[in-house]
Amino acid sequence: MMYAQFASVYDELMLDIPYPAYVDLVDTALHGLSGKKILDVACGTGILSVLLAERGAEVTGIDLSEEMLAVASSRASGRFPSMTFVHQSMQQLHVPGQFEAAVIPIDSLNYLEDEHDVEQTFKRIHRALVPGGLLLFDVHSTFKTDVLFLEGPFTYDSSTISYIWETEEGEEPHSVHSELAFFVREQDGKYARFDEVHYQRTYPVMKYAELLEKSGFSVERIFADWSDEAPDEESERIFFQVRK
């Protein structure tokens, strides 16, 4: 499948994500974005990267998918031609320079296979940040992986895209295995099918805090579901704001 078609699917599926709120969180934590160097880890199609750049940040995006990076580069090229995108895994992050902040948005960290990879990612980002640098990321809660994800199958239907999303409990604690069948309407009105398999794993809040502290970070705050509230038993998305 051509990357442009996949990116179109990805972007539509992300329409409900309040990316501007993510920008506001980083802006507030850094007391302004103008001139700040920011690392967008697992940048995908560059939606957040461009929004950060619109506020004056100098953004470098990394992602494991060359197809996603091609779309991100195309998205940024007209307005931010100097924006850099690097094909790299987050646990092997190695980019030149130092950054005032790094973000790992929209549960991207949950795609790492094990605890070691999570710790390596934190350590690599720690090295890339200036003293006092910010790391902001979000992850699925254990309630979401253990309860909500297992309430599938889930379906989605729009004028151009439909999917059937089936889930089952993964082998590791707080993990979920997903199989998605997408149907994308083409210009002739026919639908083309493609399939995706995803595996995500999360950890209890205190395990993330432990790994962050082992990697040299100090935890500033932990909050949930795009609010200022502390996580509770039924929170779905957990945010961490930490400093080097």
Task: Tell me: do 208 and 228 sit in the same domain.
Answer: yes
Q: Choose among 68, 58, 141, 147: nearest CA to 102.
A: 58
Task: Tell me: do 16 and 114 sit in the same domain.
Answer: yes
Entry field: residues in the chain: 244
Task: Tell me: do 130 and 166 sit in the same domain.
Answer: no
DSSP, residue by residue, 151-219: G--EEEE-SSEEEEEEEEE-SSTTEEEEEEEEEEE-TTS-EEEEEEEEEEE---HHHHHHHHHHTT-EE
Domain hosting residue 16, numbered range: 3-140+204-243
Residue type, 97: G
Contact 86, 61 (CB under 8 A): yes
Please provide residue 80's backbone torsions phi and psi, each rounded to the nearest 5 degrees.
-130, 65
Task: Tell me: do 21 and 95 sit in the same domain.
Answer: yes
Residue 220 maps to which CATH number?
3.40.50.150
Task: Tell me: do 214 and 196 sit in the same domain.
Answer: no
Task: Tell me: do 120 and 232 sit in the same domain.
Answer: yes
Task: Tell me: do 76 and 161 sit in the same domain.
Answer: no
Residue 168 contacts by C-beta under 8 Å, 6 or more apart in sequence? 150, 176, 177
Task: Tell me: do 7 and 107 sit in the same domain.
Answer: yes
d(CA 226, CA 70): 29
Task: Tell me: do 165 and 58 sit in the same domain.
Answer: no
pTM: 0.94
Q: Can you give the pLDDT of all 244 residues of the chain as single tens digits? A: 344 456 668 888 898 999 999 999 999 999 999 999 999 999 999 999 999 999 999 999 999 999 899 999 999 999 999 999 999 999 999 999 999 999 999 999 999 999 999 999 999 999 999 999 999 999 999 999 999 999 999 999 998 899 999 999 999 999 999 999 999 988 899 998 988 889 999 999 999 999 999 999 999 999 999 999 999 999 999 999 999 9
